[in-house]
Amino acid sequence: MNPFIYSDTNKRYHTLDYFYKHKFHSKVFKVSLNAGFSCPNIDGTKGVGGCIYCSKDGSGQFAGKIEDSLLDQFEEIKNQLLKKWPHSKYIGYFQAHSNTYAPLPILKEKYELILKQKDVVGISIATRPDCIEKDCLDYLENLSKKTYLTVELGLQTIHEKTSKLINRCHTLACFEQMVLELRKRKIPVVVHIINGLPFENKQEMLQTISYLNTLDIQGIKIHMLHVLKNTPLATFYEKKGFPILTKEEYVEIVCDQLELLRPEIVLHRLTGDPQKEELIEPTWLTKKFCVLNEIDKEMQRRNSYQGCKIKS
């Protein structure tokens, strides 16, 4: 019998599918969109060139095509999903780059366009903690009273030395303050972290999870670092070199992280999902479902589950 309370399958962690099913009583999908935003870490406001692992798509490799309108992007992806799940609901996912980095009227126009579409039950906005202005926060607070809204904040690591190396250009204090501001307005927060960042060890990755456990967050995305072609990280990897986690090491670390994570926190992602033709390392990452299956098997082998090692 599965000992984990937030599951009705063999999963021993709190999946996004489980959360959506119990919240909306329907199959729900995120439709990834590229709204044409930039980033303060690209245009020189905070930094230049972006985070060293970011491709030209700004972590939006599976978002819609930038040359297409938002509606065309949405309809194309939605219609693909409809073929398999004809009675689904949708979350508009503003994924590529920093999706609060524009004047408020532009943000309103783009968000509300998607919210007007049939069977859309909410939106999810991926951004940085240093580019949500006060007027945007107030607008998001009002919006969250009308629809299901989540804000996804990139953190990646709590360790300053790593943050500087990957060119994040914001502080941990800035991140923590933005979590407080969003939660003060009762807006759900999802945090992105990356395992396998250059020269971070397993203990440091677990420390990032332990830190997040102390914050009022509702979800987390765990990525595996991937080295993509034509990125600063690719150049750094070629010149300096750093250890790349094996699949076995990654599975072990993720399972350790799950055991430390509060059980009510929803897992929105457990691995990376790079495009094969752009990937340099690790090549095992292209087999996403194999990685997820290995995580499931390891949790079962341990007879453990999300949150089982939290000290009371």
44/41 Cα distance (integer angstroms) = 6
Supply the mean pLDDT for the chain: 94
Is 113 part of a structural domain of the chain?
Answer: yes
**Which token pair is 7?**
């599951």
pLDDT number for residue 64: 66
Q: If 0-12 CB within 10 Å is exposed, 13-18 middle and 19+ buried, where does residue 88 land?
A: middle
- Name, in order, each residue with C-beta under 8 angstroms of 214's C-beta and a sequence gap of 6 or more: none
Q: Which of 213, 264, 300 is nearest to 6 (CA)?
A: 264
At 248-276, the pLDDT tens digits run 999 999 999 999 999 999 999 999 888 89
Q: Is the pLDDT of residue 58 over 80?
A: no
Is 11 part of a structural domain of the chain?
Answer: no
Among 45-59, 82-96, 193-207, 265-279, the least confident range: 45-59
**Which token pair is 224?**
């595996």
105 is in which domain, residue-wise? 16-302
Is 308 part of a structural domain of the chain?
Answer: no
Q: Is the pLDDT of residue 222 over 50?
A: yes
Q: What angle do CA 105, 107, 111 make, to 5 degrees?
A: 120
For 151, half-sphere exposure in the C-beta direction (CA atoms, 13 angstrom radius) is: 31
Q: Is the pLDDT of residue 172 over 80?
A: yes
Give the CATH number, domain containing residue 80: 3.20.20.70
Residues in the chain: 312
Average pLDDT over residues 148-176: 96
Contact between 120 and 89 under an 8 Å Cβ cutoff? The reply is yes
Is 154 part of a structural domain of the chain?
Answer: yes
Is 5 part of a structural domain of the chain?
Answer: no
Is 309 part of a structural domain of the chain?
Answer: no
289/285 Cα distance (integer angstroms) = 9
At 103-129, the pLDDT tens digits run 999 999 999 999 999 999 999 999 999
Q: If 0-12 CB within 10 Å is exposed, 13-18 middle and 19+ buried, where does residue 275 land?
A: middle
Is 26 part of a structural domain of the chain?
Answer: yes
Average pLDDT over residues 75-84: 89
Q: Is the pLDDT of residue 11 over 90?
A: yes
Q: Is the pLDDT of residue 1 over 90?
A: no
Query: Considering its fold, how many domains does the chain have in total?
Result: 1
Q: Is the pLDDT of residue 60 over 50?
A: no
pTM for the model: 0.95
Nearest 5°: phi and psi at 81? -70, -35
Is 7 part of a structural domain of the chain?
Answer: no
